[in-house]
Amino acid sequence: MTIVYDLYGAEKSCLLSARSDLERALGETFEERDSSYQGGIYYMWGRNDSENFVLKLNIDPFDGDPVEQDYASYKVLLYVNATNRSSDIEKLISQVSVFKLLRHEIL
């Protein structure tokens, strides 16, 4: 089984509207969480030990720089972690036109 880690970005979106759009496209409810490591408020769906989605701002809480330096123009990031259904998720997310696939890593 192929495990994939994908990163999506949205340039012109706020975190709340991105959450709403993704919940509609994916049919899942993202849970609000708060962590200084994640930069404050972020949203998650899934479990840490299996497939999960993390939606957060692209701001490093410690220095204010983008977390993803290569994608500094993207304000909102969506990490799709440890999935074996990357292409299906990409099709669903493509319904939310503000998100673009930025990175696709196969492990």
The string of DSSP letters for the chain reads ---EEEEEEESS--HHHHHHHHHHHHT--PEEEEETTTTEEEEEEE-TTSSEEEEEES--TTTSS-SSGGGTT-SEEEEEEEES-HHHHHHHHTTSTTEEEEEEEE-
The predicted structure's pLDDT at residue 16: 94
| Nearest residue to 45 (alpha-carbon basis) of 13, 2, 92 | 92
Predicted TM-score of the model (pTM) = 0.94
The predicted structure's pLDDT at residue 71: 98
Cross-strand bridge partners of residue 43: 32, 55
Tell me the pLDDT tens digit for each residue of 17-59. 999 999 999 999 999 999 988 889 999 999 888 999 999 999 9
Task: Please name the fold of domain 4-106.
Answer: Double Stranded RNA Binding Domain (3.30.160)
